[in-house]
């Protein structure tokens, strides 16, 4: 099924934020910060994989992803969709179905030897590949998959994260010559929390302080204060 409707960007962002709250995928805890894989301490954590367990929400989010790509990238810009092991794989399958495109997936580590050691599926030389992840912070994990695809002869000019932290800008993507598309950020999630009074003022204030200066907040709360982008 190919999605060809184009909802307002702000509406898509707000609805995805509300969906994440509805399925309890959002966690705020300023008193006992979460430790991210980067070593950064964070008062917020989000589990986008839970979207897969809710069919109506899952379908709507993939409609949003398709609309975002068709409007911002174009209708005939990709030859296949790639998901990274493991979270990106089911979303790649869903998006490939929406756009009527082949799907591949990329392993975290090579299996065996040769140009396609990390690629599972059919990716001819020169294929224009869109990489999808459920979320990205600064792009580090996504670029592991992008680099593997490029090394195998694929062309990657675009990536999409359903959820983008939005706290470090898009420097890594600019440096890597990849245009990042996304549906919602932490600012959208925080706006819903404020509107619906989902947390006390102190917690919301701490979350906002983190979003304004994430590395400074991390350093004050036991995490790294520098991050290589």
Residues at the annotated binding site? 107-108, 111, 113, 133-141
CA–CA–CA angle 30, 160, 215 (5° rounding) = 30
Helices assigned H by DSSP within 23-136: 55-72, 88-99
Query: Beta-strand (E) ranges in the chain?
Result: 26-28, 34-35, 41-42, 44-46, 80-84, 103-106, 119-120, 128-136, 155-164, 179-185
Q: What is the dihedral of CA 59, 64, 67, 70, to 10 degrees?
A: -90
CA 80, CA 64: separation in Å to the nearest integer? 18
> What is the radius of gyration, based on Cα positions, of the chain?
18
Query: Beta-strand (E) ranges in 63-173?
Result: 80-84, 103-106, 119-120, 128-136, 155-164
Residues at the annotated binding site for 5-phospho-alpha-D-ribose 1-diphosphate? 107-108, 111, 113, 133-141
Which residue from 148, 147, 188 is spatially nearest to 164, judged by alpha carbons? 188
DSSP 3-state of 84: strand
Residues at the annotated binding site for orotate? 137
């Amino acid at each position: 099924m190919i999605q060809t409707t184009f909802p307002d960007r702000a509406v898509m962002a707000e609805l995805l934020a509300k969906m994440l709250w509805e399925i309890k995928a959002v966690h705020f805890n300023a008193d006992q910060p979460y430790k991210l894989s980067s070593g950064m301490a964070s008062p917020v954590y989000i589990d986008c994989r839970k979207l897969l367990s809710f069919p109506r929400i899952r379908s709507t989010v993939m409609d949003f992803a398709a609309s975002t790509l068709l409007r911002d990238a174009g209708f005939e810009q990709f030859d296949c969709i790639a998901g990274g092991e493991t979270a990106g794989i089911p979303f790649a399958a869903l998006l490939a179905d929406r756009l009527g495109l082949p799907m591949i997936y990329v392993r975290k580590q090579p299996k065996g030897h040769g140009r396609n050691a990390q690629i599972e599926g059919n990716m001819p030389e020169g294929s224009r590949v869109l990489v999808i992840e459920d979320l990205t912070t600064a792009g580090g994990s996504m670029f592991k998959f992008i680099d593997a695809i490029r090394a195998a002869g694929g062309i990657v000019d675009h990536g999409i994260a359903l959820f983008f932290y939005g706290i470090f800008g898009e420097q890594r993507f600019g440096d890597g010559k990849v245009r990042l598309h996304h549906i919602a950020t932490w600012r959208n999630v925080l706006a819903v929390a404020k509107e619906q009074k989902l947390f006390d003022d102190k917690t919301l204030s701490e979350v906002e302080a983190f979003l304004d200066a994430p590395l400074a907040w991390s350093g004050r709360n036991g995490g790294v204060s520098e991050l290589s982008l």
